[in-house]
């Protein structure tokens, strides 16, 4: 007679509510609202007198939000007796993940180009922003260097730790990783609406791709490398082409 199989512990309603609260706090919206209020109280404005995005404001907001979100993720893992390293970086060999992450950079570009071309053919009206407003953040060489650093840290580090945390909480308490992947990809896309509906859609698809890599490999390292490399290439594009 085979021994009985141990069933996973039941998820209590309080666990679901707590996990949902953690996901909400780490989604980026509450933390950015707090930081925007703080920066505004210090006299900083999100727009220049000419109506462009303010580089000091955006850089400060992004870096402060990175510290806050990553800190919250680490705190919530520790509060449940979990390890950020074990939950998000797994046991894969780092050098393999780095190499795989480098390979994700051209793949990410292919996905974005494919989605944008498809949108242009099927629903061209979704291209409602002719020039990417982020291009205005790299008007000088110093701004380009700072922006490159910011997008690698905020995109490659913060957003992938954030995504990995959200997906783990959905796996554990909120209906499964695929549910979390779908919902958070939509949220990720909505966060890029200022760049246009088409960019928001392609970004949502790209976020789903990076999230699927995490679910498959159980480590955020490769998506981190791929995301940081993709963002760095985007900055180079802004510098060379201006949009």
Q: Kindly report, residue by residue over 78-122, the tens digit of the pLDDT.
A: 999 999 999 999 887 889 999 999 999 999 999 999 999 999 999
Does residue 150 lie in a domain region? yes
Does residue 201 lie in a domain region? yes
Does residue 196 lie in a domain region? yes
Does residue 7 lie in a domain region? no
pLDDT, greater one: 134 or 19: 19
What pLDDT, in 10s, does the model give residues 124-139? 999 998 888 888 888 8
Does residue 75 lie in a domain region? yes
Domain extent for 218? 13-241
Number of compact structural domains in the chain = 1
Q: What pTM does this model have?
A: 0.91
Neighbours of 225 (CB within 10 A): 22
């Amino acid at each position: 007679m085979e021994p009985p199989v141990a069933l996973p512990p039941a998820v209590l309603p309080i666990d679901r509510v707590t996990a949902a609260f953690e996901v909400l706090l780490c989604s980026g919206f509450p933390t950015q609202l707090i930081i925007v209020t703080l920066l505004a109280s210090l006299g900083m404005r999100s727009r220049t007198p000419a109506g462009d995005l303010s580089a000091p404001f955006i850089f400060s907001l992004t870096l402060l939000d990175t510290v806050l979100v990553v800190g919250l993720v680490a705190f919530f893992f520790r509060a449940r007796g979990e390890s950020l390293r074990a939950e998000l970086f797994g046991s894969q060999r780092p050098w393999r993940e780095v190499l795989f992450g480098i390979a994700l950079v051209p793949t990410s570009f292919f996905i974005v180009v494919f989605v944008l071309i498809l949108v242009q053919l099927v629903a061209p009206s979704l291209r409602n922003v002719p020039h990417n407003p982020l291009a205005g953040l790299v008007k000088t060489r110093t701004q380009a260097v700072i922006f490159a650093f910011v997008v690698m840290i905020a995109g490659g580090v913060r957003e992938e730790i954030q995504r990995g945390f959200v997906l783990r909480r959905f796996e554990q308490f909120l209906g499964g990783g695929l549910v979390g992947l779908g919902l958070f990809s939509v949220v990720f896309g909505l966060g890029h609406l200022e760049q246009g509906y088409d960019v928001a859609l392609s970004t949502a698809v790209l976020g789903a791709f990076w999230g699927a890599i995490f679910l498959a490999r159980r480590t955020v390292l490769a998506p981190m490398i791929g995301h940081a490399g993709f963002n760095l290439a985007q900055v180079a594009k802004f510098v060379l082409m201006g949009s």
